[in-house]
């Protein structure tokens, strides 16, 4: 899972396996370690209790929660993005990650095929 923060926008891009896990009720979680005792954890989960897309930041952890029905439908569709915002004004984008056009497939083996790639 890739994390991108720009201004008040939080963007998470998930590979095919991560999207499948999210669709199967699993939590997708990653972390970046800054030192042995300091890391930032970030995750995406679905919940039947979620009324909309939300984000929570607590104890060096960013957790995005999606409504279960929305996550399940998204995981099994061609839809690329789930978008929402929280009451604090953070815009949230959860996206399917496409293969980069400027890198070889081997560097992004589990990313979705890029629809802009030219087939030979």
115: in domain: no
Pick from 26-35, 57-66, 80-89, 105-114: least confident: 105-114
Per-residue confidence (pLDDT) for residue 19, from 0 to 100:
93
Count of CB atoms situated within 10 Å of the CB of 76: 11
- The span from the CA of 39 to the CA of 23, in Å, is 27
Q: What is the value of pTM for the model shown?
A: 0.82
CATH of the domain at 50: 3.30.1360
Q: Scan for tokens 């939300």, then name that residue.
A: 54
Number of domains present in the structure of the chain:
1
Per-residue confidence (pLDDT) for residue 118, from 0 to 100:
62
Residue 9 banded pLDDT, cuts 50, 70, 90: very high
- The span from the CA of 94 to the CA of 4, in Å, is 10
Distances (CA, A) of 72 to 22, 77, 82, 89: 8, 9, 11, 25
Write out pLDDT tens, residues 46-95. Answer: 999 999 999 999 999 999 999 999 999 999 999 999 999 988 899 999 99
Domain that holds residue 93: 2-100
């Amino acid at each position: 899972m890739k994390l991108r923060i720009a201004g008040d926008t939080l963007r998470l891009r998930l590979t095919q396996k991560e999207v499948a896990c999210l669709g199967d009720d699993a939590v997708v979680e990653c972390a970046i370690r800054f030192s042995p005792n300091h890391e930032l954890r970030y995750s995406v989960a679905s919940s039947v209790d979620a009324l909309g897309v939300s984000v929570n930041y607590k104890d060096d952890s960013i957790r995005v929660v999606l409504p279960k029905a929305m996550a399940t439908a998204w995981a099994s569709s061609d839809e690329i993005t789930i978008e929402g915002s929280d009451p604090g004004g953070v815009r949230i984008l959860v996206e399917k990650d496409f293969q980069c056009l400027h890198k070889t497939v081997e560097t992004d083996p589990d990313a979705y095929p890029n629809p802009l790639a030219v087939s030979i």
